[in-house]
Structure formats: C-alpha cells, structure tokens
Amino acid sequence: MELTSWKLIFMIGKYRRTSTDQNLQDQGKSFQIMPFGIDKYSETNVWANEPTMWGIIVYSIVIPIISGLGMIGNALILAVLSRRSLKASTYTYLAVLAGSDLVTCGLLLFSGLARGVFWGRSGWIEFDVFVHLPVGSISSNIAVWAAVLVTLDRLVLVAGSPKCKPPKFCDNQVARKLLTCSFCCAIFLNLPYCFIYTYNELGELTTTEFFRSRWYNLQNWFQLVMFGLVPAVFLLVGNGVMCVTVRRLIRQREIFLQRKQIRERYCLNVLTDQVRLTITLVGIVFLFLVGEVPTHLASRRSAISILYGGDDTRVNEVFLERFRIIATLLNAISSSANFILYCLLSPQFLIQLKQLLRRRKVVEKRQLNLKIVTIEQQTRESTDCALNTSRRCHSSMF
C-alpha cells in the first residue's frame, strides 16, 4: 500500500513538471504556480520563474520612491516653466519634457507596485499591460520629440548669426505647433500597442496573433530607429556641436570685452547663465539617453522582436528579467533627476521657483486675512442685528 501511494505521488509530480516551461526544467530550477490571470507562455509575465526578493524590493520600494520624488520634482519644474515670464520656445519644450516625465514617473510608480508587491492581483496586471505599456510609450515618444526639438532650437539660436530678434524657428508659437503635431503622431504610432494583449479561453492574459506577426516586428524596429537610435545620434552630435559653439562664442566675447576695456559684470553674468543653461540641457539629454535606449530594448512590447528576432525559443528569460529590472530603474532615475540638474546648474530656475513659492505664500496669507475680515464683518452684522442698531437690519424688517 505504501509503494502504491508513493508511486501515485511520483506520477502526480511528474505530470506537474511536464506542464512547466521546458527551459526551466533543463536548468533544474523550481517552479511556482503562476498567479491567476497570467499566461506563463506570453510576455505578460515579467519574471523568468518566480518573483525574486531583490526584484520585489526594486519594483516595490526603490522605483516607487524614486518615481514619487520625480513626480514632485517634475511638477515643480512644470509650474516654474509654465509661468508667463518665461515665454521663450526653449522653456516651452522643457515644460513639455517635464510633463511627459511627470506622466512617466506616475506610470512607473504604479507599474512597479503591480510587478512587485501586488504581482498577480486582479486589476494591477491589467493596468500594467493595457495602460502602462501604450501610455508609457506615448509619453516616451513625446519626450523624445521635446528633447530633439529643444536641442535643435538651441543649435539654431546659438550657432546662427547674432540678431536682435531670435529666428522664426525659435518662436513660441512655432514650438507649440510642433509639439501639437508630435503629440498627435505619438498617439497614432502607438495605437498598435493597444492590441497586443487579450484573454484566452481560461480567462488569462496572453499575447495576440498580432504580437507574433511580421507587421508587429516592423512596428518595433520602426520605434527603435525613429525614437531610439536616430534621436540618440542626433542628440549626442547636436549637444557636442552646441558645447563647442558656446565655448567659441564665450572666448570671442571675452576678447571683445578685454579690447574695449569693459568690465561690466552684467555681460559676464549673461554669458555664465547661457553656459549653465547649455550644460543643463546637455545633462538632461544625457540622462534621457541613459533611461530611454535601454527601455526600448527591455520593454515587453519590443524585447522579443528586437533582441531575439521574434523567436520565443531563443529567449533567455533570466537575463531578460534582470535586464528589465535594471532598465526600469534607469528609466525612473532619468525621469526623476532633472529637478536636481535644474537646481544645481540653473540659478534662473531657482530664482523663479523662489518667486513662485513666495507668491503662493503671499496669496495664502491674503486669503487667510480675507477670511478673518469676512468672519469679523459677519460677527459685527449679527451683533448689530441682535441689538437693532444697524440700518440695514432695520430696513430689512419692513
């Protein structure tokens, strides 16, 4: 009887092992039952086998903290750059970049929780695949356009011949039109990512046939080239040219000031501000590239198409899991660190931020004083009504 029971247990264990992934069986790794609602054989799963401790810590603690701080920082940047006193086209592009980073930080915060502590729970999985992937791709594309346009704007402004008025391309209205077009194009180009997941017969999330089609591979390569490789090359070359041009102009103006024997600090302060603004832009672009390029390669919407040519059998799930965690962390850092760059390298930003906070304090103080005066006035009127000494109350009685 004992032999029969052990044989039955062995047969059940053998049946369970045959239902697992063959790659994991060859590697001798343990298998944990997947959370309800996820198809193990699709890209809805971000884990190779089961959630690891360091992965849960990164997704559930590190990324949400960084993203939460990034949301606060980008909100302050957006509030400062949206002020009426900053009308230049450069600030318009930077405001849109801050807005897209704000959206990215919000998505990364909830996506990190969905992949970590809330992994496998109903609603969180759907948010990660149906909301985070398409909306995150849209915000990423808009950020790419904003970074490219602000670099091109500074190149035209700095490398061009000095004029009293900025070129037409550097106009605020032109910047808004270009950003509106980029926003519409980003939505249109990312519509296919809304149709890559569906539910199978068991009610589990799984990839569609479109996910494994040639057209989808073409879509991913187009996204990588147009919003990854080409912008990366342009931003590196453009910022390098801009740094060289600014350095040359500073030398020419310093020589001019020395020849004319002009020792006005105002001119030197203007040059210093321009240099700091350029360095700030270079730093923003560098952080942007550090977070953007790995995200294109590690994202579930494009990793198999780009890294493995669309062949599921070639996927190294352990490597992809770790690479995805690192890429998500880099994306969170790059989307959140712009506030630090502004504070360190842009004194004008700090001045505008102090004015904004001071103005809010003044407005709140005025509102508080107005409430106090209103309460005192209402108290006096009620007292006058009780004593019948107010003409207003006396006239209202008849």
Residue 353 and residue 363: Cα distance in Å, rounded?
Answer: 15
Q: What counts of helices (H) and strands (E) characterise the chain?
A: 16, 2
- Above pLDDT 90, what percent of the chain? 12
Residues 6+ positions from 190 with CB-CB distance below 8 Å: 134, 137, 138, 141
Residue 265 and residue 5: Cα distance in Å, rounded?
Answer: 92
Structure tokens at 185: 């194009």
- Predicted confidence band at 258 (pLDDT cuts at 50, 70, 90)? low
pLDDT digits (tens, 9 = 90+) for 200-217: 777 777 888 888 888 888
Asked if residue 397 has pLDDT above 60, the reply is no
Alpha-carbon distance values, 71 to 65, 289, 347, 395 (Å): 10, 19, 21, 57
Q: Where are the domains of the chain?
A: 34-240+284-345
Q: Of the segments 14-28, 111-125, 257-271, 366-380, which one has the largest average pLDDT value?
A: 111-125
Stated pTM of the model: 0.73
Closest Cα to residue 75, out of 44, 98, 91?
98
Q: What is the mean pLDDT of the chain?
A: 74
Q: Which amino acid is at 5?
A: S
Residue 299 and residue 255: Cα distance in Å, rounded?
Answer: 51
Residues 6+ positions from 21 with CB-CB distance below 8 Å: 31, 40, 41, 317
The mean pLDDT value for 316-321 works out to 80
Asked if residue 40 has pLDDT above 60, the reply is no
* Polymer length in residues for the chain: 398
Q: What CATH architecture is 34-240+284-345?
A: Up-down Bundle (1.20)
